[in-house]
């Protein structure tokens, strides 16, 4: 029969996913977008012509492919009717809105997929599904499979490059008939690249979320900031110094230690996917990094990071110059949907995380929030995070018997 999938979102990733999946035989694709008038304008674009996806396979091999989703709507009931798989392809702060919109229509044995999930997606999804969670499965990808951007809304999207490999974890409800093989179907939808690597448990993928990277670098660069206006935006990765690299390395040590303690307490759980950030760079950016000798050099010489700048906003009175933007997603998302989730898992494992605590404490001040108090996650704004505790996961048993 036909595989029916739903793509939630209306941004770069959602365009790419919708256009790519619509090219596959026996796959029907629908799109649910709740943001502003995106559903209307995308529908209008489709009345005129199919979508075009310009795919870059290599430097001198690009291809334009035409395809169209069968429906773009803001109506969650129409969107979910008879659907087998639901992809969430939006920034993490928008997940909750989509989960709440679709949860009452979700059928048994539906697979929900965070593409990417970002830390805490599973906790939030399980909570939103309520009793249905046992009949469904929740998968989470560690990143988006492609670099992509919209050229013209609803009409044209560019797939600039494929990742070579990509980790995914699946959390299967005890009464569902889904299996890890459900991920094979997703591989078919995406095509040859990236090659999926199934990571054995979802807690490991939460600890490996890439939201680990930005906050320590922000803290290291700006912790002594006194409001001065800069004439240029500093380089984010190429400008990493020993201190910033040291902070990221320590955060990574705390995460790896958390995994190790969980592994010691639960012999049947495989946490081997949790590795130090330097080892991860060496593996994932093997060809892009020219100096692998240490974390600082690896980041400075990673071609994939060429020219990326610190998030800055206009600063000086004369409209010239820049000041740091502490509300950019490097802090606004990567702390409540990243470091705080990892800290929450560490708390459950009984692991101290002094460096992570220091960085959360600094970041929450910039954001005007309170997540952590001292070294405990008891701040008044904890409900705005995706720490497991927010959803009632308080012990290792809770974590591993969803």
Of the candidate residues 22, 33, 258, 364, the single one contacting ligand NAD (CB under 6 A): 33
Q: Nearest Cα to 210, choosing from 363, 338, 360? A: 338
- Minimum CB separation of residue 38 from ligand NAD in Å reads 6
Determine, following the binding rule CB under 6 A, whether residue 21 of this chain makes contact with ligand NAD: no
- What lies within 8 Å, CB to CB, of 352 at 6+ separation is 254, 346, 375
If one counts every other C-beta atom within 10 angstroms of the C-beta of residue 251, the result is 23
Could you tell me which stretch among 10-18, 47-55, 126-134, 239-247 binds ligand NAD (CB under 6 A)? 10-18
Cα 203 to its chain centre, rounded Å, is 14
| Residue nearest ligand NAD (C-beta atom) | 11
Residues linked to residue 72 through DSSP beta bridges, in sequence order? 31
DSSP letter at 228 equals P
Return the structure tokens found at 294. 């240490």
Among residues 116 and 315, whose Cβ is nearest to ligand NAD? 116
Compute the distance between CA of residue 21 and CA of residue 201 in angstroms, rounded to an integer: 26
Q: How many angstroms separate the first and last alpha carbons of the chain?
A: 31
Q: Which of 23, 147, 275, 367 binds ligand NAD (CB under 6 A)?
A: 147
Where does this chain touch ligand NAD (CB under 6 A) — which range of 33-41, 73-81, 232-240, 253-261?
33-41
Q: If binding is defined by CB under 6 A, does position 143 make contact with ligand NAD?
A: yes
Of 15, 95, 214, 310, the catalytic one is 214
| Options 3-11, 182-190, 212-220, 349-357: segment touching ligand NAD (CB under 6 A) | 3-11
To ligand NAD, the closest distance from the beta carbon of 329 in angstroms equals: 7
CA-atom Rg of the chain in angstroms = 21
Q: Which stretch binds ligand NAD (CB under 6 A): 7-15, 166-174, 201-209, 302-310?
A: 7-15
Nearer to ligand NAD, 138 or 148 (CB): 148
Angle (CA) 355-361-363 rounded to 5° is: 100
String marking each residue 73-112 x if it binds ligand NAD according to CB under 6 A: ----------------xxxx-x--x---------------
Cβ proximity to ligand NAD: between 143 and 263 the closer is 143
Could you say whether residue 357 binds ligand NAD (CB under 6 A)?
no
242-265 and 277-284 are packed helices; what angle lies between their axes, rounded to 10 degrees?
100
158-164 long-range contacts, Cβ below 8 Å, gap at least 24?
Answer: 158/53, 158/54, 158/56, 159/16, 159/20, 159/53, 159/54, 159/55, 159/56, 160/56, 161/56, 162/193, 162/194, 163/193, 163/194, 164/193, 164/194, 164/195
Residue 141 or 322 with smaller CB distance to ligand NAD: 141
19 near ligand NAD, rule: CB under 6 A:
no
Q: 50 or 96, CB closer to ligand NAD?
A: 96
The verdict on whether 214 is a catalytic residue reads: yes
Residue 12 binds ligand NAD, judged by CB under 6 A? yes
Q: Single out the residue of 69, 76, 116, 167 in contact with ligand NAD (rule: CB under 6 A).
A: 116
The 3-class SS string of 34-94 reads CCCCHHHHHHHHHHHCCEEEEEEEECCEEEEEEECCCEEECCHHHHHCCCCEEEECCCHHH
Is position 144 an interface residue for ligand NAD (rule: CB under 6 A)? Answer: yes
What kind and span of H or E run contains 313?
strand 312-314
Indicate whether 140 belongs to the interface with ligand NAD (CB under 6 A): no
Q: Which of residues 34-73 bind ligand NAD (CB under 6 A)?
A: 35, 38
Tokens 């759980």 appear where? 269
Pick from 11, 76, 117, 388: which binds ligand NAD (CB under 6 A)? Answer: 11
Q: Would you count residue 161 as binding ligand NAD (CB under 6 A)?
A: no
**Which residues, 6 or more positions from 176, have their beta carbon under 8 angstroms from its beta carbon?**
108, 109, 134, 135, 136, 137
Distance CA 136, CA 153 (A): 33
Closer Cβ to ligand NAD, 11 or 324, answer by number: 11
- Name the residues annotated as catalytic: 214
Contacts with ligand NAD, residue ranges (CB under 6 A): 9-14, 33, 35, 38, 89-92, 94, 97, 116, 118, 143-144, 147-148
């Amino acid at each position: 029969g036909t595989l029916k999938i739903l793509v939630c979102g209306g941004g770069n990733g959602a365009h790419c996913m919708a256009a790519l999946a619509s090219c596959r035989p026996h796959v029907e694709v629908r799109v649910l977008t709740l943001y502003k008038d995106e559903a209307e304008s995308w529908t209008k674009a489709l009345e005129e012509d199919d979508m075009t996806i310009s795919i870059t396979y290599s430097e001198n091999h690009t291809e334009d492919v035409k395809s169209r989703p069968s429906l773009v709507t803001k109506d969650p009931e129409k969107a979910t009717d008879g659907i087998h798989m639901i992809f969430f392809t939006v920034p993490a702060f928008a997940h909750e809105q989509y989960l709440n919109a679709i949860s009452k229509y979700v059928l048994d044995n539906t697979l929900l997929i965070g593409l990417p999930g970002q830390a805490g997606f599973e906790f939030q999804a399980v909570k939103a599904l309520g009793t249905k969670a046992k009949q469904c499965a929740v998968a989470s990808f560690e990143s988006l499979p492609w670099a992509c951007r919209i050229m013209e809304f609803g009409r044209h999207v560019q797939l600039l490059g494929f990742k070579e490999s990509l980790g995914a974890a699946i959390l299967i409800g005890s009464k569902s008939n889904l299996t890890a093989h459900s991920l094979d179907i997703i591989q078919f939808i995406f095509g040859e690249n990236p090659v999926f690597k199934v990571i054995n448990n979802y807690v490991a993928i939460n600890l490996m979320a890439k939201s680990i990277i930005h906050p320590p670098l922000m803290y290291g660069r700006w912790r002594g900031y006194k409001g001065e206006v800069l004439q240029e935006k500093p380089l984010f990765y190429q400008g990493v110094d020993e201190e910033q690299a040291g902070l990221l390395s320590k955060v990574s040590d705390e995460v790896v230690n958390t995994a190790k303690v969980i592994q010691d307490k639960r012999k049947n759980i495989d946490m081997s996917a949790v590795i130090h950030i330097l080892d991860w760079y060496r593996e994932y950016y093997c060809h892009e990094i020219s100096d692998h000798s240490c974390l600082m050099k690896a980041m400075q010489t990673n071609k994939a990071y060429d020219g990326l700048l610190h998030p800055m906003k206009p600063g000086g009175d004369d409209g010239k110059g820049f000041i740091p933007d502490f509300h950019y997603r490097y802090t606004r998302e990567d702390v409540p949907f990243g470091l705080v989730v990892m800290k929450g898992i560490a708390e459950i494992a009984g692991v101290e995380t002094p460096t992570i605590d220091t960085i959360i404490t600094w970041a929450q001040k910039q954001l005007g929030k309170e997540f952590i108090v001292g070294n405990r996650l008891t701040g008044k704004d904890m409900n705005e995070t995706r720490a497991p505790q927010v959803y009632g996961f308080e012990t290792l048993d809770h974590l591993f018997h969803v």
